[in-house]
């Protein structure tokens, strides 16, 4: 599969959301080496592989669903940090940090269902 190019502007804004949730955003992207992550942030473009693109897609969709569900950015970014019975009392962030892309999909499925479409 041909790698897609991610713009510097997108990566910078998306990184702010990830950094708010987790002080180590590369962990949400599958234990991406921090040097690679910061290289991407400083470059004009990034060419991640398929696994990273899938993780970014799940994270984007989670963020988008949360922005639809919650009326404020503060509420949308606070939700992943709160314990949730649907995840056995763990927060969505804890589930996403387990490392598996399936954990990201699990959180997305939950918020997508809560969104109601």
Give tens-digit pLDDT for 31-61: 667 677 667 666 655 677 788 788 888 988 8
pLDDT at 87 over 90: yes
The domain locations on the chain are 6-115
The three-state (H, E, C) secondary structure of 5-21, written as one string: CEEHHHHHHHHHHHHHH
Q: Is the pLDDT of residue 114 over 60?
A: yes
Higher pLDDT, 36 or 108: 108
- Check pLDDT > 50 for residue 3: no
Report pLDDT for 20.
58
| Ramachandran bin of 99, using left for φ above 0, alpha for ψ from -120 to 50, beta for the remaining angles | left
| For residues 81-101, average pLDDT | 93
């Amino acid at each position: 599969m041909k790698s897609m190019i991610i713009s510097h502007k997108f990566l910078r804004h998306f990184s702010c959301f990830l950094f708010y949730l987790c002080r180590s955003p590369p962990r949400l992207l599958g234990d991406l080496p921090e040097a690679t992550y910061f290289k991407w942030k400083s470059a004009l473009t990034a060419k991640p592989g398929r696994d990273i693109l899938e993780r970014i897609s799940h994270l984007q969709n989670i963020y988008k669903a949360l922005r639809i569900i919650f009326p404020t950015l503060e509420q949308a970014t606070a939700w992943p940090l709160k314990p949730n019975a649907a995840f056995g009392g763990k927060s969505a962030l804890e589930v996403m940090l387990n490392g598996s892309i399936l954990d990201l999909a699990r959180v997305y499925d939950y918020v997508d269902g809560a969104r109601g479409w």
